[in-house]
């Protein structure tokens, strides 16, 4: 009972400061987690909408191939001569050679 009496007698200090801390945490979460994720999602959507026939791409599973047909929901990927597979547009991760070619060129030793 004494502990409860002490808690009830404690004066509320900090008033506005108690509100600033949760608001600051919310702002930090928004600017460091939510906003970058929204930007990444927008860029991925724009990339998938810009896919055109004849582009070499890599799927999210690591399958490399050439886009033969591009539809509103799916794409047809030629992985080998005559071997064609149909994927959802969301399964296309990147254009082949765009991210992988740069590091390979920089690590090759120069001929002297």
The confidence score (pLDDT) of residue 27 equals 93
Contact of 53 with 91, CB cutoff 8 Å? no
Distance CA 83, CA 89 (A): 18
Q: What are the residue ranges in the chain where pLDDT is below 70?
A: 1, 6-15, 98-112
Token digits of residue 26: 């919310």
User: Positive or negative CA dihedral for 30, 33, 36, 37?
Assistant: negative
Three-state SS at 27: helix
Provide the terminal-to-terminal Cα distance of the chain, rounded to the nearest Å: 86
pTM over 0.95: no
């Amino acid at each position: 009972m004494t502990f409860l009496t002490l808690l009830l007698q404690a004066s509320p200090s900090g008033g506005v400061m108690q509100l600033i801390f949760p608001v600051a945490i919310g702002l930090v979460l928004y600017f460091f987690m939510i906003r970058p994720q929204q930007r990444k999602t927008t860029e991925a959507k724009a990339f998938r909408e810009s896919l055109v026939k004849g582009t070499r791409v890599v799927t999210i599973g690591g399958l490399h191939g050439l886009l033969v047909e591009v539809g509103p929901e799916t794409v047809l990927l030629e992985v080998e001569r005559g071997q064609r597979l149909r994927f959802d547009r969301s399964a296309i991760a990147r254009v082949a050679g765009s991210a992988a070619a740069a590091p390979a060129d920089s690590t090759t030793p120069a001929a002297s």
